[in-house]
Amino acid sequence: MGNHSTWSHTEGQTKARHAEALQPPSMYNVVLNNDNYTPMEFVIDVLQKFFSYDIERATQLMLTVHYQGKAICGVYSAEVAETKADQVNRYAKDNEHPLLCTLEKA
């Protein structure tokens, strides 16, 4: 009997550790930040190219960036969010625009 209670206790600890290990990944908001130089058309292009928004939704988000200073473009796991932000920032730089894409923990 002593062995069974030890086994049950160990099994419970393993289940608890396994449940902790299966927590969903942290999620991050990918945010476009307003500046006074990047053309609105370029922001719409970015939203369509990197976030797959149609023209109407991309225009709405661009206006949010313009009037509110920033807009969340999507919520992703850390690796995907970092990749998207890096792609946008590189694309903006390559096109000589100061548009900045950042991450915020969701």
**Taking the CA of residue 52 as centre, how many other CA atoms within 13 Å lie in the half-sphere pointing to its CB?**
2
Q: Spell out the domain ranges in the chain.
A: 24-105
pLDDT, tens digit only, all 106 positions of the chain: 555 555 555 565 656 666 667 889 999 999 999 999 999 999 999 999 999 999 999 999 999 999 999 999 999 999 999 999 999 999 999 999 999 999 999 9
Task: Give the model's pLDDT for residue 18.
Answer: 62
- pTM listed for this prediction: 0.79
Q: What is the largest CA-CA distance in the chain?
A: 75
Alpha-carbon distance of 102 to 23, in angstroms, equals 25
**The CATH number, out of the four listed (3.30.1390.10, 1.10.3720.10, 3.40.50.720, 3.10.450.50), of the domain defined by the range 24-105:** 3.30.1390.10
